[in-house]
Amino acid sequence: MAKNRSTFVCQACGSAYPRWAGRCEACGEWNSIVEEATVQEAGSKLSRRGKRIEFAPLEGSEPEPPRRPTEVGELDRVTGGGLVRGSALLVGGDPGIGKSTLLLQAVASLASGPKGAPCAYISGEEAIEQVRLRARRLGVSGAKVELAAATSVADIVATLDRLDPPAVVVIDSIQTMALDTLDSAPGTVAQVRASAQELIRVAKRRGFVLMLVGHVTKEGVIAGPRVLEHMVDAVLYFEGDRGHQFRILRAVKNRFGPTDEIGVFEMTDRGLMEVPNPSELFLAERRGNVSGTAVFAGIEGTRPVLVEVQALVSASPLATPRRAVVGWDSGRLAMVLAVLEARCGLAFAGNEVYLNIAGGLRISEPAADLAVAAALVSSLSGRPVPEDMVVFGEIGLSGEVRSVSQADLRLKEAAKLGFARALVPPSRRRREGAAAPLRTVEIAHLQDIVDIVGPGARSVSARRERLPG
């Protein structure tokens, strides 16, 4: 027997309650509980009503999805080799970070590439003249891109729902789009979701690539791109520091490719320039022989990236000294500080500690631990980490240094950029005769770092070094 009942469901976390409440006990959200009617049927009746679904084997003969490279190399790297037909991408980022510029450059490159794909750029934020001015500034006015200024999803769908739609359609931005069948204002969660759903549906049906721009917003009336993440095939975030010229494109979700690749761009007055070798750029402003800095040999996706880790440890008049981190995880910094105090006897308690990854890059690899520790110890002691040295390694809670992946690739990149020495974790497999591209100093315990750059350190050359060859 069917039983009609209603439950009260939190829209934020999905917890269900038998009666309404102002605050969800599970997630703490206020005013998120909404009544939902549920029809519960006895299991046997439901199974009589449903049809059997057919199962298929895991193995099949589907070809790789066809990709359309944009010829913007860094964008292709992040998407996994180009845009997949019929897929929907979301490009999120803070207002003013350069999303419109990036996508205009991408469609212009696609349209004037060897295949000359027809592209459309629909702006809900800027007038046609403004987009034209930008195209002229970027030097892409000649590209065959169809421009429109529109905000009505019904009009856009009616235009695109035809047999020969453009190959790539950019919607800038989804927060300006609206369906007139909904009461709510453009930019609200309901409008953003419904508009995206209609646009994605027509993209899947007609097989064009849909690129949605989404502004990241502070909590407020405008819905951020987060509410769309589950609906699209790929989510790319465009990030960077307003004060820096670097911009980093990062995939946080990708149904057709990897999610750990980053694309690096440099912002110029003629638009975004690709940076195929980011290490050179990130180290460009480095001043050697300064205490409190260490060069970390990192890996972003498949590419080695060298960055400078900067630390400043200074005496504090405050009872609880400040700890501030830019570009790294503050929890991880607290751990490295605790290990340095507990296992190496250093004292940071009365000091403020600032940590910065130069150039605006954000690092999430644990392999940066050792470089962070080196920068911290160096700042505390005032002794610089040798200028020609890179550092990488993960730190365990007992102060041991653990090996990290792709050590060879990191060393090769460091050698390419002119570094002569590297502080590395002990290698598990010492390959006989394997040539390291530079001299490596194996660090088994954090104490070894203190011995090298800490107060009262011996010279680094006194330590056991492994020579190349």
Q: Which residues bind ligand TYD (CB under 6 A)?
A: 93, 95-101, 267-269, 271-272
* Angle between the N-to-C axes of helices 153-160 and 189-206, in degrees from 0 to 180, rounded to the nearest 10: 0
SS3 content of the chain, % helix, strand, coil (to 5): 30, 30, 45
* Residue placing its CB nearer to ligand TYD in the complex, 101 or 381: 101
Whole-number minimum distance, CB 157 to ligand TYD, in Å? 23
Q: Which is nearer to ligand TYD, 242 or 430 (by Cβ)?
A: 242
Asked if 282 contacts 308 with a C-beta cutoff of 8 angstroms, the reply is: yes
Closer Cβ to Mg ion, 151 or 314, answer by number: 151
Closer CB to Mg ion, residue 94 or residue 352? 94
Q: Which partner from the list ligand TYD, Mg ion, none does 150 bind, CB cut-off 5 to 8 Å by kind? A: none
Q: Which is nearer to ligand TYD, 95 or 455 (CB)?
A: 95
How far apart are CB 172 and ligand TYD at their closest, in Å?
Answer: 7
Map the footprint of Mg ion across residues 392-411, applying CB under 5 A: none
Provide, rounded to whole angstroms, the least separation between the CB of residue 272 and ligand TYD: 4
From residue 235, how far is each of 74, 78, 204, 307, 347 by CA, in Å? 15, 10, 17, 25, 43
Q: Provide, rounded to whole angstroms, the least separation between the CB of residue 337 and ligand TYD.
A: 36
The pairing of strands 303-315 and 351-357 is antiparallel
CA distance 373 to 401: 11
Give yes or no for residue 123 binding Mg ion (CB under 5 A): no
271 binds, among ligand TYD, Mg ion, none (CB under 5 to 8 A by kind): ligand TYD
- Return the structure tokens found at 406: 């792709």
CB of 359 to Mg ion, least distance (A): 24
* Of the candidates 440, 359, 434, 425, the residue with the CA atom closest to the CA atom of residue 395: 425
Contact characters 74-103, Mg ion, x per CB under 5 A: --------------------------x---
Nearest C-alpha neighbor of 336 from the set 393, 381, 281: 393
Nearer to ligand TYD, 72 or 404 (CB): 72
CA distance from start to end of the chain: 80
- Alpha-carbon distance of 178 to 192, in angstroms, equals 7
- Contact partner at residue 335 from ligand TYD, Mg ion, none, CB < 5 to 8 Å by partner kind: none
